[in-house]
Structure 1
Amino acid sequence: MIKKILAVTLLSVLFAQSPMASFAEPVFSRSQEEWAKLRDNRLEYGEIEGLLEEYNGTILQNKIDYRSFQKEYGKTNEEVVKTYRDMAKEIEKNLQEPDPQDANYISAAVALASAKAQISSLNKSADNALEDAEIKWITLESAKKTLVQVAQNDMISYYTNLLVVEDANLTKQQAQNALHLAGIKLRVGTGVKSSILSAQEDLLKAEQSITKATDDANNVKKKLMVMCGWSYNGNPEIGSLPDVEFSKIEKMNPANDQGLAFQNNYTLRINLKKLANASEDSQKESLQTAIKTNKQNISTALVVDYQNVLAARDAYHYAKANVDVQNGLLSQMQTKLRLGVASAYEMSAQEISKKQADVALAQAKISLFSAMENYQWDVNGLAKAE
């Protein structure tokens, strides 16, 4: 496995300085057992966040950018404003009017105009500055959590595509059986050639679906493993998705979860901190409006995603009931086959239907798991607030 050497070096440098106590955790806070799991050649769903924290290039660069921001601008909003002013003063201090008689007058005049524009921009930034180190950290945390969600969705998509491959193989088997039966009927004079052509078309479509779903699964696997620190040519074992915990659904309540969703939401937290830093009435009014909209959107996201969970749960129970039905029909078909009142073709068709029901149940289970994860991300800070 080729991964994760540069990342450790970067983090060692990154945390050489003491971080803001309330915003960061020590890089070496993981146990040896945790490190061993992150460094093996197996990608587990529950390890995704840890893998991204330690080995994702974007997240590592964001941490470096955060340190650079503190070093250059300071921690508080007052320090940020002062930095902008000081930068403007430093440029202004070195301004010099060019001599019209100088051969380089035009280029010097252009440079002067550019410097004055930069001074104006810096002073304007100072006037409007609302950011501070905490806002910078919240922004980067939001970016990190979003990447975690994306990676988790990729792993879910990987397994969804594998099920599509499985279902397409069953469809292919159906088409092969239909083609075989159509050929027999045509030979004995009870069939038509169009039935063969139709079965051939279905077979071709099934093979195309298999190819596409296989490619989709491989592509999303590559994307996932690169995000988590493996090389593009790596081949980690992909762990299974966590099982659905139905008891969690009973505890979901948008009205009750709203307070925690507000508390955790990154966009809302940023706007609340900006409001605390704001001095102009126009800034405060704009932010108060944004905060009100944020809360409305968060509440809506909770309700919508909760309804999605309930719908996915209903779909799961329907798929589970259909498996029971198909098992019963398969048992009946086995009895009929033993009694000689059913054909091998009918038996094969029912076996395929039973397997298709199993695949549909697995797909419904993944969809339910995904819906539950989306709701939990709403609560944990990623509800769409804007």
Structure 2
Amino acid sequence: METGGSLTLSVLLTVSAAFPALAVEKPADMDDATWARLQDNTLEYDEIENLVLYYNPTYRQVVDTIEVQLDPLKTAVADLKDYVQEQRDDARRAKDDGDMMSYKIGMATASAIEKQAVKGLETGLRTAQGATKTTKDQIRRTMTSAIEGLVITYHQTLASKELVDTSVALAQAAYDSAIAQQGIGMATEADVQSALKSLTSAQNGQKSLNDGLTTLKRNICVMTGWDYNADMEIAAVPAPELASIDTMNPDEDTRKAISYHPTIISLRGTNGHGDVNRGIKERSLEDTENKINTKVHDLYTAVLQSKITYDGAASAYESARLTMEGNERKYAMGMLGNLQYLQLKLVYLQQKQAYDSAVLSLKQAINDYNWALYGVVTLD
């Protein structure tokens, strides 16, 4: 195993040097094609649940020992919390250094892991006594949800890459132009230094983005059974299923969310003998059910708001795309200089990045709603 990079997470999730991290035989109920896809070098979005089921170190460790002891789960929770704190500390140091890109990516990574994995595992820990299958299902769902969130964050970050790379190219062209103009007396040394400062800033942003992508990929690798620095591909996230929004009914769906929520399951399994205990149990159930109801409706509202943002971004992107097609033709005919072309391309890429981000944000909002119906939701 490599010793550099995210060593804490590697130790935490007990990952071995090569994929697959765990020696797993093909399940009897899985077809050869599906199994072969799990063995290839590409992580497909629809493979995440199976990768958790057979290769996620945390899930496998818990499944192997849950009937006899809960210590591995407690350790996993503690170590995940430590790792989340390390991510936040690193992000804050980056912010102090003026590196806002690394700060945002680091905080997003920490929040995704804490929101889905840590909170879910803590819930699983509280409900692990007794219903083994329920506990395993809850852990599988929370880990799957967490990895889906990280993959979406990875592609949201990746969506900025072409924009950032073009910003560097534009800054480089502007700097080269300033040097050339200085040579013929049309630019001052101050102009050159200003252009150099802009170029350096753009290059620093580019490095921060690339470093952030590497960090996200390493987290995803470890949580799906690869070595943390494996040379693998993270395939694109499928488009959000817009038709599914029309089928959402928070009033009806809340009942399902209540039936799956581990806190409800745990409360229903507690001893309610005696008037006092029965009253406490009933009040706790009512309070939790009300919180779930509020959360499901809030998540539904978030889906609708994300859809509005998506529609606006799609319209703006289509307009920008048509304009850019015309600019491409002008550039090919020599009607635009390189610097002007890059400036126009940057405007287009800003709209494209906004659209790509809106698509993925809507996907995440739909995911959050759907997972809540299976008990994967943090209550305030």
Partner Cα separation in structure 1 for residue 332 and residue 64 of structure 2: 71
Match in the other structure for 1:60? 60
Partner Cα separation in structure 2 for residue 236 and residue 212 of structure 1: 21
Match in the other structure for 1:372? 366
Match in the other structure for 2:171? 175
Question: Is structure 2 residue 64 aligned with structure 1 residue 48?
Answer: no
Partner Cα separation in structure 2 for residue 236 and residue 349 of structure 1: 34
Match in the other structure for 2:352? 358
Match in the other structure for 2:320? 326
Of 276, 280, 304, the residue aligned with 1:286 is 280
- TM-score, normalised to structure 1, is 0.70
Count of residue pairs brought into register by the alignment: 309
Partner Cα separation in structure 2 for residue 309 and residue 333 of structure 1: 35
SS at match of 2:207: helix
- 1:132 positional shift: 5.2
- 1:294 positional shift: 1.6
Greater alpha carbon shift after TM alignment, 181-190 vs 242-251: 181-190
Residue by residue over 1:116-172, the C-alpha shift from the partner in whole angstroms, topping out at 9 and shown as x without a partner, is: xxxxxxxxxxxxx998522x4433332221111111111112212222322211221
Match in the other structure for 2:86? none
Superposed, which structure 2 residues align to 1:182-261 within 5 Å?
182-183=178-179, 186=182, 191=187, 193-261=189-257
- Runs of 5+ in structure 2 lacking a partner? 1-16, 71-125
Residue by residue over 1:43-72, the C-alpha shift from the partner in whole angstroms, topping out at 9 and shown as x without a partner, is: 1111111111112222122223333269xx
From the superposition, tell whether residues 176 and 65 of structure 1 become closer, same or farther in structure 2 (CA, over 3 Å): same
Partner Cα separation in structure 1 for residue 332 and residue 39 of structure 2: 55
Residue by residue over 1:172-227, the C-alpha shift from the partner in whole angstroms, topping out at 9 and shown as x without a partner, is: 12322333444455555555544433332222122112111111111221221221
Superposed, which structure 2 residues align to 1:63-102 within 5 Å?
63-68=63-68
In terms of Rg, which structure is larger? 1
Partner Cα separation in structure 2 for residue 41 and residue 336 of structure 1: 41
Greater alpha carbon shift after TM alignment, 310-319 vs 277-286: 277-286
SS at match of 1:385: coil
Percent identity for Structure 1 against Structure 2:
24
Q: What letter corresponds to residue 54 of structure 2 in structure 1?
A: E
Partner Cα separation in structure 2 for residue 69 and residue 181 of structure 1: 68
Of 151, 154, 159, the residue aligned with 1:155 is 151
From the superposition, tell whether residues 347 and 40 of structure 1 become closer, same or farther in structure 2 (CA, over 3 Å): closer
From the superposition, tell whether residues 196 and 141 of structure 1 become closer, same or farther in structure 2 (CA, over 3 Å): same
SS at match of 1:8: coil
From the superposition, tell whether residues 130 and 205 of structure 1 become closer, same or farther in structure 2 (CA, over 3 Å): closer
- 1:261 positional shift: 1.4
Question: Is structure 2 residue 307 aligned with structure 1 residue 310?
Answer: no
Match in the other structure for 1:8? 24
SS at match of 1:382: coil
Q: What letter corresponds to residue 231 of structure 1 in structure 2?
A: D
Partner Cα separation in structure 2 for residue 227 and residue 192 of structure 1: 53
Check whether the contact 1:244–1:368 (CA below 8 A) recurs between aligned residues.
yes
- 1:251 positional shift: 1.8
SS at match of 1:53: helix
Residue by residue over 1:3-26, the C-alpha shift from the partner in whole angstroms, topping out at 9 and shown as x without a partner, is: 3474437xx9xxxxxxxxxxxxxx
From the superposition, tell whether residues 238 and 131 of structure 1 become closer, same or farther in structure 2 (CA, over 3 Å): closer
Match in the other structure for 2:79? none
Q: CA RMSD in A?
A: 3.2
Greater alpha carbon shift after TM alignment, 366-375 vs 319-328: 319-328
- TM-score, normalised to structure 2, is 0.71
Partner Cα separation in structure 2 for residue 54 and residue 375 of structure 1: 25
- 1:366 positional shift: 1.3
Match in the other structure for 2:33? 33
Match in the other structure for 2:115? none
Question: Is structure 2 residue 269 aligned with structure 1 residue 273?
Answer: yes
SS at match of 2:159: helix
- 1:295 positional shift: 1.5
Question: Is structure 2 residue 316 aligned with structure 1 residue 300?
Answer: no
Check whether the contact 1:7–1:60 (CA below 8 A) recurs between aligned residues.
no
